[in-house]
């Protein structure tokens, strides 16, 4: 039955309405899978919103295509000791409203991150900062309570989009209607559920866009995105479905771009309430699912089945981890030991076809060990709200691993201080916290590697989540695009898109 289900998922195809080409030579139209949630980068870290933030705002530092730190609004930096970071800021940068960028804005953004508790988890990332000192208009000094080895990478996260202090304080809650950044595009409008419209910032200090107008559309259905690309009504689509890969690759008017990235998808288990507050039930869940089989059936040659919580290619990834243990009899024995029978659970998932397909296959596999699973499909924002509230038993989720360090892949998601923010599993394990704290403060080198090796194996034993997909970006573009660098973070700098002449 499960093999038939996998086959039906692999062969599924969808019909979609017709679309028509746009005829706007000075406009780039891209189709995302989700709408943005807000225009305030402190309030959400979801990928759809992050893409728009990167257009409107700049960061103090950024990552190049390979994940190395590079200057942005901070031209250079020094670390005279493990407790001190000195950032020298770029001069001659202006916000979209004409205000100059200064150290006041940099300090305000960091302090806002330290003191605001939201789904971005910025307060968790910046917990070890003691204070931010303004040395002069273009120099800030960050003083730490204790060493935090990957601190500078934290400034490249979504929350680190630098906002204008004066505008933010003047507008308050109305700021989201009039966002102001220093980025390569200015905000024009947001039609919720449909599109964000931006225009080129002709005063941008960096690379200026090849086109005047950027439209980011929300098109949840993958097959519809493909049809819109074929028709020319959009110039670029993300998250190409496996059913459409050859269709795009074989079209002479289109190009298919692929790159392995650090993204992972996983089943989140709510460890704070029955039945998954019992580690034996979590272990049974893990053994009941054929992770490699699910990944192969859903993605068919795209990405890979991960062994653990760190993606391939991330520093300190342990390639000696065993393959996932798919063991139906072992799952049944653990459920019996836990005194659990006739278990009925709900898997919550957003509209992503791939995640719905994975949940459907998992539903059948769980049935093989006596677990009845319902599937509830929610709008993406509604699912995020459920995760934040802890209103779920099992949820399909993902993590872009925007910051290429294990602290951000594991500490943000599973340290107890992240409960209510980024620790959706509500995993609270003192030993795990202790290991994560040690890893975050240990200097780069063999000792840090050993800590994270232990962290990964401890995680697999406690199973706060089960990872089933390791990422690969598959993007479709029209031939009017001559150059589009794929960043392994999966969020892109549209001002670096080059149009064919």
Q: Do 294 and 421 share a domain, yes or no?
A: yes
* pLDDT at residue 17 in the model: 45
Within a domain: 299: yes
Can you give the pLDDT at residue 122?
Answer: 80
Query: Containing domain of residue 135, as a range?
Result: 70-163
401 or 163, which is more confident: 163
At 14 the pLDDT is 40
Phi-psi region of 172 (alpha: psi -120 to 50; beta: other; left: phi over 0): left
Please give the pLDDT value at position 99: 97
User: 421-435: per-residue pLDDT in tens?
Assistant: 889 999 999 999 999
> What is the mean predicted confidence (pLDDT) over 108-137?
89
**For residue 244, what is the DSSP state?**
G
For residues 279 and 426, membership in a common domain is answered with: yes
**Is there a single domain that holds both residue 108 and residue 39?**
no
pLDDT over 70 at 136, yes or no: yes
Residues 224 and 337 in one domain: no
Q: Is residue 218 part of a domain?
A: yes
In this prediction, residue 238 carries a pLDDT of: 93
- Give 12's pLDDT tier (boundaries 50, 70, 90): very low
CA atoms within 13 A on the CB side of 168: 17
Q: Is residue 302 part of a domain?
A: yes
Instruction: Please give the tally of structural domains in the chain.
Output: 3
Q: Are residues 118 and 139 in the same domain?
A: yes
The residues pairing with 375 across neighbouring beta strands, listed in sequence order, are 347
Nearest 5°: the CA angle 113, 114, 116 is 65
Percentage of the chain beyond pLDDT 70 is 96
Evaluate if residue 77 carries a pLDDT over 50.
Answer: yes
4 or 248, which is more confident: 248
Alpha helices in 272-398 (DSSP H): 279-288, 291-299, 328-337, 353-367, 380-389
| CATH number of residue 330's parent domain | 3.10.105.10
Question: Residues 462, 493: one domain?
Answer: no
Q: Indicate whether 5 belongs to any domain.
A: no
If one compares 76 and 11, the residue with the highest pLDDT of the two is 76
Query: Nearest CA to 345 among 372, 363, 379?
Result: 372
In a domain, 418, yes or no: yes
Do 288 and 364 lie in a common domain?
yes
Q: What is the pLDDT of residue 48?
A: 85
Q: Please state, in angstroms and as integers, the Cα–Cα distance from residue 358 to each residue in 33, 202, 297, 346, 471, following that order.
A: 17, 45, 8, 14, 15
Share of the chain above pLDDT 90, in %: 82
Residue 9 binned pLDDT confidence (cut-offs 50, 70, 90): low
Q: Before 275, cis peptide (omega within 30)?
A: yes
In a domain, 451, yes or no: yes
The pLDDT score that the predictor gives to residue 490 is 81
What is the pLDDT of the chain when averaged over all its residues?
Answer: 93
- Give the closest residue to 54 by CA, choosing from 413, 296, 304, 400: 400
Mean pLDDT, rounded, for 211-215: 98
What pLDDT score does 20 carry?
64
Whether 299 and 429 map to the same domain: the answer is yes
**Are residues 406 and 330 part of one domain?**
yes
pLDDT tens, position by position, 151-210: 999 999 989 999 999 999 999 989 988 999 999 999 999 999 999 999 999 999 999 999
Q: The domain that contains 130 carries what CATH number?
A: 3.90.76.10
Q: What is the pLDDT, as a whole number, of residue 2?
A: 64
Q: Give the residues across from 77 on adjacent strands.
A: 87
- Say what the pLDDT of residue 402 is: 81
Residue 142 · residue 39 · CB < 8 Å: no
DSSP secondary structure letter of residue 220: -
Q: What pLDDT, in 10s, does the model give residues 33-63?
A: 989 999 999 988 888 899 999 999 999 999 9
Predicted pLDDT at 1: 60
């Amino acid at each position: 039955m499960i093999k038939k289900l996998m086959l039906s998922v692999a062969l599924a195809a969808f019909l979609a309405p017709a679309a028509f080409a746009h005829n706007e030579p000075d406009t780039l139209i891209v189709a995302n899978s989700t709408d943005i949630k807000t225009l305030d980068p402190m309030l959400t870290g979801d990928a759809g919103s992050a893409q728009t933030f990167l257009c409107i705002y700049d960061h103090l530092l950024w990552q190049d295509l390979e994940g190395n730190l590079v200057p942005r609004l901070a031209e250079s930096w020094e670390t005279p000791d493990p407790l001190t970071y000195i950032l020298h800021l770029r001069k001659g940068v202006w916000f979209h409203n004409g205000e100059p960028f200064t150290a006041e804005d940099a300090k305000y953004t960091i302090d806002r991150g330290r003191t605001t508790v939201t789904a971005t988890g910025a307060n968790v990332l910046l917990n070890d900062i003691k204070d931010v000192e303004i040395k002069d208009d273009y120099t800030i000094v960050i003083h730490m309570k204790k060493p935090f080895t990957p601190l500078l990478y934290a400034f490249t996260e979504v929350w680190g989009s630098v906002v204008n202090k004066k505008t933010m304080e003047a507008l308050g809650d109305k700021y989201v209607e009039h966002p102001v950044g220093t980025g390569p595009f200015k905000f024009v409008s947001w039609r919720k559920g449909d599109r964000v419209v931006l225009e080129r910032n002709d005063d941008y200090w960096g690379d200026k866009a090849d086109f005047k107008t950027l439209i980011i559309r929300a098109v949840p259905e993958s097959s519809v995105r493909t049809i819109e690309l074929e028709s020319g009504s959009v110039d670029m689509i993300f998250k190409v479905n496996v059913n459409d890969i050859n269709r795009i690759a074989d079209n002479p008017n289109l190009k298919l771009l692929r790159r392995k990235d650090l993204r992972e998808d996983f089943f989140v288990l709510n460890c704070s309430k029955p039945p998954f507050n019992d580690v034996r039930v979590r272990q049974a869940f893990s053994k009941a699912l054929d992770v490699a089989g699910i990944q192969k059936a859903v993605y068919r040659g795209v990405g890979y089945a991960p062994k653990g919580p760190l993606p391939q290619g991330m520093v300190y990834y342990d390639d000696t981890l065993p393959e996932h243990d798919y063991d139906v009899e072992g799952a049944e024995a653990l459920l019996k030991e836990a005194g659990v029978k006739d278990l009925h659970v709900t898997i919550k998932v957003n509209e992503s076809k791939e995640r719905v397909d994975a949940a459907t296959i998992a539903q059948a596999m769980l049935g093989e060990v006596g677990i009845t699973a319902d599937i509830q499909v929610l709008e993406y924002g509604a699912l995020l709200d459920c995760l934040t509230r802890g209103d779920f038993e099992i949820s399909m989720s993902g993590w872009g691993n925007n910051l290429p360090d294990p602290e951000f892949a594991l500490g943000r998601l599973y340290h107890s201080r992240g409960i209510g923010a980024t620790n959706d599993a509500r995993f609270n394990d003192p030993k795990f916290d202790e290991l994560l704290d040690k890893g975050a403060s240990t200097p780069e080198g063999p000792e840090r590697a050993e800590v994270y090796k232990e962290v990964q194996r401890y995680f697999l034993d406690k199973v706060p989540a089960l990872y089933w997909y390791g990422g690969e970006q598959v993007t479709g573009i029209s031939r009017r695009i001559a150059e589009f660098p794929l960043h392994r973070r999966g969020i892109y700098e549209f001002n670096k898109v080059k149009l064919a002449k």
